[in-house]
Amino acid sequence: MSSVQIYDTTLRDGSQAEGISFSCEDKIKIALSLDKIGFHYIEGGWPGSNPKDLDFFSLIRSHSLKNAKLAAFGSTRKASLAAENDPSILAILDSGVQVATIFGKSWDFHVREALGTTLEGNLAMIRDTVAFLKSKGLEVFYDAEHFFDGCKANLAYALKTIEAAQEGGASTIILCDTNGGSLPLEIKEFVELAAGRLSLPLGIHAHNDGDLAVANSLVAVQAGAVQVHGTVNGYGERCGNANLCSIIPNLTFKCGLETIPRENLAHLTELSRFVSEVANVHPDTRQPYVGMSAFTHKGGVHVSALLKDYRSYEHLPPELVGNRRRVLVSELSGMSNMLYKYKELNLQVDKQSPEGKRVLEEIKNLENQGYQFEGAEGSFELLLKKAYNGYIEPFTLEALRLMIDVKQDGTAYSEAIIKMRVGDRVVHTAAEGNGPVNALDNALRKALESFYPCIRSMRLTDYKVRVLDEKDGTGAMVRVHIETGDGHSSWGTVGVSENIIEASWQALADSLAYGLLKGDNLEQKKDDKEE
């Protein structure tokens, strides 16, 4: 089986993405995880650019990489300096890497306008920068910046630039679609042309400005490239780089090529989420292969076929890339969605069950009122449990009073007084909060903690309000979505009302009721205590 080398530039081109700034420690952590999954090359940064990248190359030396070779990035020498006198080139040598990746200009327009030098001068810059680094024992990859735009503008010159890199002793020439605007057939044409002119292996480095970076990388491989540059989650300058989380499974499972070890692909989702966590970027739920929605099914027709055979609506099994199948319940559900959920909850219900049909009807009616059960699995499961005999509510509300006192200086004070029934006991508590919902949450917890101590470990992690019908102004219906966690798992709950406090109460009460139900926490209920 032929193989393709995976070259990661998350730490260099990925950090050129708006909103991303890795610390040196972040870069080390990411490099180690890229190495662990089996990437062949990791571009750690541009040592001539900033002290953080210099520190990275110095610190990474105390870690031994098992699979990857580390590359340092840089440009061809300055037009006015010899390579051996150019501080940026010397910084690559000092970084201690085995591989230098040097970018140079392929587009005559760029040579004249951006570099301000002659076409011949640029060829010399490419040739001697590569030759100098090679003479110092480094393997040199040559990134032909703007190669495809260069071919369109002045084909003969673009080809001369990569020949200059070959003459200098580069070991691989990477053809870059730097502005990311090329189409797959253009990529194919110029990769084939370059392959016909050079005796060296080719690589591809594609940007995503036309939303084609993954497609362009795959076409380049089909046209002969054997090294693919990209980043985890496609992070990168402007619209990003080619997304390795899509390219690797496409090359492996669809093209039958060897990339990283097959068994390691089962860690791809974990890698994607780890890098998004370190980058402090919310994971893209719709990201192919590794996104939370990549194998999530909503439409009733889809789920019905899926239950018969997963291949009906999945292009490959999610486990291959470490992702998982999910089924949503909503107004677009049929009984098949419900059956899937019942099975997850170990409930024996068949397709003709009147209770099952009643719950489905109730969900459709509630969604029509503004509820959304997709992200509210806690409220959904409570609804199911309530439809079947045997569910005893862990607490019920008897009365609730909220006070909001706004002082002259505009600061507000909130207090909630709550009367709850737990079994045959009634408890009465009051609590303050920095707002009415916080006061409500505090009073509810205070009332229940002595009965259910495990409530102390449940934390509200997100609280969102969505106005459902803006035209009704402050009288509009609102949907409150709450996310709660207990350190082991998290769950969503939902409430809908024209009154934001009522909607918040529904979501809050569901969040604790579900937290109690979920881990058999109801059994922890202490002996009732009258107050």
Ligand X SMILES: CC(=O)SCCNC(=O)CCNC(=O)[C@H](O)C(C)(C)COP(=O)(O)OP(=O)(O)OC[C@H]1O[C@@H](n2cnc3c(N)ncnc32)[C@H](O)[C@@H]1OP(=O)(O)O
What residues make contact with ligand X under the rule CB under 6 A? 13, 16, 46, 48-50, 75-76, 78, 103-105, 114-115, 145, 178, 237
Cβ-contact 432, 407 below 8 angstroms: no
Residues 368-397, interacting with ligand CC(=O)C(=O)O (CB under 6 A): none
> Given the complex with ligand X, which of 114 and 412 has the nearer CB atom?
114
Give residue number: closest CB to ligand X: 49
**Could you tell me where the beta strands, DSSP code E, fall in 211-257?**
227-230
- Least separation, in Å, of the C-beta of 114 and ligand X? 5
Please give the Cα distance from 235 to 9 (Å, whole number): 9
Q: From the CB of 459, what's the least distance to ligand CC(=O)C(=O)O, in Å?
A: 42
Nearest residue (CB) to ligand CC(=O)C(=O)O, 73 versus 342: 73
The minimum distance between CB 49 and ligand X, in angstroms, equals: 3
| Binding-residue pattern over the window 164 to 203 for ligand CC(=O)C(=O)O, x denoting contact by CB under 6 A | ------------x-x-------------------------
Q: Does 105 bind ligand CC(=O)C(=O)O (CB under 6 A)?
A: no
Q: What is the DSSP string of 473-487?
A: GGG--EEEEEEEE-S
161 binds ligand CC(=O)C(=O)O (CB under 6 A): no
Nearest residue (beta carbon) to ligand CC(=O)C(=O)O:
176
207 binds, among ligand CC(=O)C(=O)O, ligand X, none (CB under 5 to 8 A by kind): ligand CC(=O)C(=O)O
If we measure between CA atoms, which residue out of 156, 155, 99, 108 comes closest to residue 130?
Answer: 99
Q: How far apart are CA 66 and CA 453, in angstroms?
A: 47
Least distance from ligand CC(=O)C(=O)O to the Cβ atom of residue 178, Å: 4
Considering CB distances under 5 to 8 angstroms, the limit depending on partner class, which of ligand CC(=O)C(=O)O, ligand X, none binds residue 76? Answer: ligand X
CB atoms under 10 Å from CB of 398, counted, come to 12
How many Å apart are CA 196 and CA 309, to the nearest integer?
46
Residue reference for tokens 């090679």: 134
Least CB distance from residue 44 to ligand CC(=O)C(=O)O, whole Å? 14
Q: Is 88 left (phi over 0), alpha (psi -120 to 50) or beta?
A: alpha
Q: 133 vs 176, which CB is nearer to ligand CC(=O)C(=O)O?
A: 176
- Tell me whether residue 110 or residue 479 sits nearer to ligand CC(=O)C(=O)O (CB atom): 110
Instruction: Pick one of ligand X, ligand CC(=O)C(=O)O, none as the site partner of residue 518 (Cβ within 5 to 8 A by kind).
Output: none
Judged by beta carbon, residue 178 or residue 336, the one nearer ligand CC(=O)C(=O)O is: 178
| Burial state string for 307-329 with b = 16 or more CB within 10 A and e = fewer than 16 | beeeeebeeeebebbbbebbbbb
Nearer to ligand CC(=O)C(=O)O, 187 or 454 (CB): 187
Q: Distance between CA 447 and CA 93 in Å, rounded?
A: 66
CB of 512 to ligand X, least distance (A): 50
Give the count of residues interacting with ligand CC(=O)C(=O)O (CB under 6 A). Answer: 8
- Output the smallest distance, CB 46 to ligand CC(=O)C(=O)O, in A: 10
Residues 6+ apart with CB under 8 A from 250: 214, 218
Give one word for 530, left, alpha or beta, with left for phi > 0 and alpha for psi -120 to 50: beta
User: Which residue in the set 22, 103, 132, 371 belongs to the binding site for ligand CC(=O)C(=O)O (CB under 6 A)?
Assistant: 103
Pairing of strands 396-406, 412-422: antiparallel
Q: Which residue has the tokens 């950090």?
A: 15
Smallest gap from Cβ 145 to ligand X, in A, equals 5
CA 327 to chain centroid, in Å, comes to 20
Q: At what angle do helices 268-279 and 24-37 cross, to 10 degrees?
A: 170
Tokens standing for 276?
């998004």
Applying CB under 6 A, does 8 fall inside the site for ligand CC(=O)C(=O)O? no
Choosing among ligand X, ligand CC(=O)C(=O)O, none, which partner's interface includes residue 104 (Cβ < 5 to 8 Å by kind)?
A: ligand X
Which helix (H) or strand (E) element contains residue 276? helix 268-279
Place of tokens 């495990």: 454
Please state the closest distance from residue 105 (CB atom) to ligand X, in A: 5
Does the protein bind ligand CC(=O)C(=O)O through residue 149 (CB under 6 A)?
no
CB-based contacts of 517-525 (< 8 A; 24+ apart in sequence): 517/381, 517/382, 517/385, 517/391, 517/394, 518/378, 518/381, 518/489, 518/491, 519/454, 519/486, 519/488, 521/452, 521/454, 522/394, 522/452, 524/452, 524/453, 524/454, 525/394, 525/422, 525/423, 525/451, 525/452
- Nearest CA to 202 among 168, 237, 229? 229
- DSSP letter for 202, please: E
Nearest CB to ligand CC(=O)C(=O)O, comparing residues 55 and 209: 209
Give the residue with the Cβ less far from ligand CC(=O)C(=O)O, 35 or 145.
145
Q: From the CB of 242, what's the least distance to ligand CC(=O)C(=O)O, in Å?
A: 10
115 binds, among ligand CC(=O)C(=O)O, ligand X, none (CB under 5 to 8 A by kind): ligand X
- Among residues 57, 464, 517, 8, the alpha carbon closest in space to that of 229 is found at 8
Q: Contact positions toward ligand CC(=O)C(=O)O, by CB under 6 A?
A: 13, 103, 143, 145, 176, 178, 205, 207
